[in-house]
Amino acid sequence: MTKRMFALPPAWVLATVCLGYAMVVVDTTAVNVALPTIGDDLAGSVSGLQWVVDGYVLVFAALLVAGGSAGDRFGPAAVFAVGVAVFGAFSAACALATSLSTLIAARALQGVGAALLAPACLALIARTYAGDGPRRARATAVFVTAAGSPQAFGPLLGGALVQLGGWRAIFWINVPVALVTCVAGLLLRGDERRSATPTRAGGHLLVLLAVAALTTVVIEAPERSVASVPVLVAGATFVATAALLVRHETHVGHPAVAPALLRPPVVISIGVGSLLFAGYYGLTFVLSLLLQRGLGLGAFDTGLVMVASALGIFVLPLGSARLVRRYGALALLRTGLLTALVGALVLAIGGISRTDVRETGLAILGVGVGLSVTPQITLTLDTSPAAALAQASGVLNAARQLGTVIGVAGLGALVTPEADPRLVIAWAGCGAAALLALALVATVATTGQGRVPSPRSAEP
pLDDT in tens, 54-112: 778 778 877 877 787 787 778 888 888 899 999 999 999 999 998 888 999 999 999 99
DSSP string across 174-211: HHHHHHHHHHHHHHT-SS---------HHHHHHHHHHH
Nearest to 419 by CA among 299, 280, 294, 296: 294
Task: Give the confidence band of 365 by pLDDT, cuts at 50, 70, 90.
Answer: very high
Residues 6+ apart with CB under 8 A from 248: 202, 203, 206, 255, 256
How many other C-beta atoms can be found within 10 angstroms of the C-beta atom of residue 196? Answer: 8
Cβ 135 vs Cβ 13: under 8 Å: no
Find the mean pLDDT for residues 242-259.
71
Residues 6+ apart with CB under 8 A from 196: none
Distance CA(57)–CA(49), nearest Å, equals 13
Q: What integer best gives the mean pLDDT of the chain?
A: 78
Find the mean pLDDT for residues 213-241.
82
Find the mean pLDDT for residues 34-53.
74
Fold of 259-460: Growth Hormone; Chain: A; (1.20.1250)
At 106, the amino acid letter reads: A
Helix (H, G, I), strand (E, B), or coil: what is residue 59?
helix
Query: Over pLDDT 70: what percentage of the chain?
Result: 82
Inter-CA distances, 242 with 213, 214, 236, Å: 10, 10, 10
What pLDDT score was predicted for residue 148?
A: 66
Per-residue b or e along 347-386, where b marks 16 or more CB atoms closer than 10 Å to that residue's CB:
bbebbbeeeeebebbbbbbbbbbbbbbbbbbbbbbbbbeb
Helix (H, G, I), strand (E, B), or coil: what is residue 256?
coil
Cβ 147 vs Cβ 23: under 8 Å: no
Inter-CA distances, 301 with 156, 297, 307, 408, Å: 8, 6, 10, 21
What pLDDT score was predicted for residue 102?
A: 92
The yes-or-no verdict on residue 307 having pLDDT over 50 is: yes
What pLDDT score was predicted for residue 459?
A: 32
Most confident segment among 119-123, 192-196, 305-309, 344-348: 344-348
The yes-or-no verdict on residue 299 having pLDDT over 90 is: no
Inter-CA distances, 44 with 95, 218, 285, 319, Å: 16, 22, 21, 44
Distance CA(106)–CA(95), nearest Å, equals 9
Q: What angle do CA 168, 172, 176 make, to 5 degrees?
A: 175
Q: Which of 283-287, 317-321, 439-443 has the lowest mean pLDDT?
A: 317-321
Distance CA(210)–CA(137), nearest Å, equals 33
The yes-or-no verdict on residue 126 having pLDDT over 80 is: no
Find the mean pLDDT for residues 442-448.
61
What pLDDT score was predicted for residue 451?
A: 43
Q: Residue 116: enclosing H or E segment and its boundaries? A: helix 100-128
Pick the CATH number of 1-194 from 1.20.1250.20, 2.40.110.20, 3.30.1360.200, 3.40.50.620: 1.20.1250.20
Helices and strands, counts by H and E, the chain: 15, 0
The yes-or-no verdict on residue 115 having pLDDT over 70 is: yes
Residues 6+ apart with CB under 8 A from 220: 228, 230, 231, 234
Find the mean pLDDT for residues 427-453.
72
Distance CA(165)–CA(313), nearest Å, equals 28
